[in-house]
Amino acid sequence: MILGIHHTTFLTSDLPRSRDFYERILGISLDVHRPQMSFDGVWYDVAPNQQIHLMLLPDPEQGLPRPAHGGRDRHVAFAVNDLAQFIARFDAEGIPYTLSQSGRRALFCRDPDQNALEFIEVLA
């Protein structure tokens, strides 16, 4: 029986650049308990028992064309409580995004390594 999603992993070619995006732009907290591995990387706590892992490894898909709209690409979706906050932050930082084409309160952007991310507003 599947209990949930524990973590999602993204490859990065520039760990400091990716850390800036995930930590400063998205405001995600670093998990300092990542063990030493044969490659560099970081773990982030997104919610209780949910993480994002960044691995500093070559991207086997580098140079392949990606859809302009992240919703038409492989992506991970994050539940957020204030989509306007992300829109304002992305606008201020010059981060391109597209709004959901389904009419949901959601947007798609890409991280510095072109991984597609979705942010869906979930009202309490």
52 and 75 within one domain = no
Query: Which domain range does residue 98 map to?
Result: 70-121
In the beta sheet, which residues pair with residue 51? Answer: 7, 45
77 and 52 within one domain = no
Core vs surface per residue 84-116: b (16+ CB within 10 A) or e: eebeeebeeeeeebbebeeeeebbbbbbbbebb
Domains held by the chain: number: 2
Domain CATH for 38: 3.10.180.10
pTM, two decimal places:
0.91
Q: What is the pLDDT of residues 51-108, one digit of tens each?
A: 999 999 988 888 889 998 898 999 999 999 999 999 999 999 999 999 998 889 999 9
Q: Is residue 113 part of a domain?
A: yes
